Chains A and B, each alone.
Chain A
Amino acid sequence: MAWSIPLIAEASHFRRLSQATLAELASSGLVLDTPPFRFRIRSSSQPLADALFAAYAGYKVLDDRAFVDFDLSVLPVKSWRRFVAPLITLDFDGLLPFDPLPAAQAFPLLEWGMNWCVTSNAHQYLMCHSAVLAMGERALLLPAPPGSGKSTLCAALMLSGWRLLSDELALIEPETGLLTPFVRPISLKNASIELVARRFSLAEMTCPVVDTIKGTVSHLKPTAESLAGARQRAVPKLLVFPKFVADSPLKSTELSQSEAAVELARNAFNLPAIGVLGFEALTKAVEGCVCYSVQYGNLDDVIAWLDAQVDQDVEARHE
């Protein structure tokens, strides 16, 4: 590219998660570096620790000198129930935003808690419900409501050579329209867990947790390439609204940028809250994009199609 996007600044004092201990997690907590945020995570839960060390292997742990954005504790609820059906709860800087859950769901609770911290507070960005992946600095946005098969597609793309920026949350910078990565484990549900495991033998996932409010849940570790690009912003180039329909052949419909912008706005978390700034972010993000809605029944088809599309430029198309 003719111009380079500056990297997000890196912390200078860190270790790898594998060097941290369970004892630390349970007492003073671990400060996990998940750019652009730093979470202090504290928990005495064994299932949480197991999943955390698996899904976040390779992530940096910062020391006490770090700026902590959000302080999360997942701790047992002290009640008579703890001998029969132990519950855990999430404490976010003194707040308890969720109802307690069965102790086995500690890691999903942490993940949802981390998402909640960001969507409730990170109004320096326009935030949209969307998967974001990239080839180099060229980004693909896949906005879709939950249950649309977006996570499966996102996981498959990541495991097929795309770098992951986020499986759920597009962070759009209002001044530039650029996408900031927020690389975290991909949340997979129900049937897609087995689907991904079967198709990608190298995929590393946490132990599935059953009976959550979203069904059976497992988290897929980000690829090394995704983690390596955790500070590299990307330029939105391809905006695709995916729809999975079993056994359907690939059907793509090009959308005008304004149609696509309206649809993307529908998937925004904080557009009314930040008003005009949000519209600016939306416009800047979409104006460099080629936009489609795509129906597919076969992962291979849609991945191949996306691989081909990502190199298209919106200017070239209108010549």
Chain B
Amino acid sequence: MSKPVTNNRLIEALVSPVAVASWTEADWGLAFRQARSANLVASLGDYAETGLGRGVMLPAAQAHLRAARNLIVQRNAAVAWEAGQILKALAKRQIRPIFLKGTAYVLAGIPLARHRHFSDIDVMVPKEDMAEAEKQLMLAGWLPSNTDAYDQRYYRQWMHEVPPLRHVRRGTVIDLHHAITPLTARYQANTPLLFEGRRSLLPSISGADVLCPEDMVLHAAVHLFSEGEAENGLRNLLDVSELMDHFIAGPMGTEFEGKLASRAFLLGLSRPLYLAVRYLRRVLMQDRRIRLEALMESAAPRALKLLALDRIYHRVFMGQHPTQTLPGNRPALAALYIRGHWLRMPTKLLLPHLWRKAINPRR
């Protein structure tokens, strides 16, 4: 059964929000189902509302949007409170964490937080404070999640990370990091510079820090291109886009692009930024990224590799709903999965790990 690209309502709304004004009922239904599969219901809603201007959204679509927003509103309120609890626990040993990703967007009041779902709270502390931080969090009720000996070794010894910590009563989960890229990974961010660049959220939230704007974008980019699963691919790409637009609209203006590019090279994260901008231009048709793409051109991989990456990521970003998938989706997902692991683990660990996962895919 052929699936014409024109059926991809979700991408259509993200590329050109005004297009939604001419959508039929069936189009709206399809768009929201595609969005659900991409964890982008609230995002679709926001883009569609922009496109409609003063027009009214179909009530059936509004219902789905309301549902997604209800979850996000509660999530964001809960996260702000949890962040306070985490700060209290770590302050006992004078550890000042940096909040990352979704949590940071909420705490810093970035508009992206209005339509982004996330579940875990990502927190970064210096490597030398990791053991103490884990201890203080455990004392406050966050225990390592129920993982077996293999998974514990995977996290601690190989990836040099701590397994997710889950609160015994509330069930909230903390991902505790000492860097934004695993120690064994091929993309290595310059961690001391990340800590140096940290921004305080004072006076609003005492003791809470986030990454500086350039680093937030770069983190989103490296996270996007280190992922081995396609499920959140488009969402992660949108994060990069919306963060950049937010900072460009701020006091830094278009100077932000130059600063971002320099910072990317300085931190060693130029390749993920290049790729992000490339796909924002090619998949989401964002012509406004032309200047930044030119600045990042030297970070492009060589032609053959780029061809392979294009094949994978074009399919990933077009969406995984059955009405969106392009021919060759399965091999692309398999390649993505292997790439995700290859980027994170040295080869000698990779093969046994993949073998084990192949035998028992549920782990």
Contact = CB atoms under 8 A, between A and B. Distances in A.
Contacts of A262: none
Given A69-B64, A94-B321, A277 B74 contact: yes
Interface in B270-300: none
Interface string B89-130: 000000000000000000000000000000000000000000
Interface string B131-142: 000000000000
B64 A277 contact: no
A68 B29 contact: yes
5 cross-chain pairs, A with B, having the tightest CB-CB distances, nearest first: A275-B74, A67-B29, A123-B67, A124-B66, A68-B29
Contact of B33 (A65, A93, A124, A274): A93
B321 A93 contact: yes
Q: Is the interface of B mostly helix, strand, loop or mixed?
A: helix
A71 B33 CA distance: 8
Given A123-B67, A124-B66, A64 B26 contact: yes
A66 B26 contact: yes
Nearest to B325: A94
A9 B26 CA distance: 16
Interface of A: 9, 36, 38, 64-71, 93-95, 121-124, 174, 272-277
B59 A9 contact: yes
A68 B64 CA distance: 11
Contacts of B47: none
A122 B32 CA distance: 13
B71 A94 contact: no
Interface band, chain B: 20 to 34
A92 B229 CA distance: 19
Given A93-B322, A275-B77, A67 B70 contact: no
Nearest to B34: A93
A274 to B, nearest CB: 5
Contacts of A70: 33
A172 to B, nearest CB: 13
A62 to B, nearest CB: 9
Interface string B54-75: 0000111101101110110110
B74 A124 contact: no
26 contacts: A9-B59, A66-B29, A67-B25, A67-B60, A67-B61, A68-B29, A69-B32, A69-B60, A69-B64, A93-B33, A94-B321, A121-B67, A123-B66, A123-B71, A124-B63, A124-B67, A124-B70, A174-B70, A272-B74, A274-B70, A274-B71, A275-B74, A275-B78, A276-B77, A277-B70, A277-B74
A273 B36 contact: no
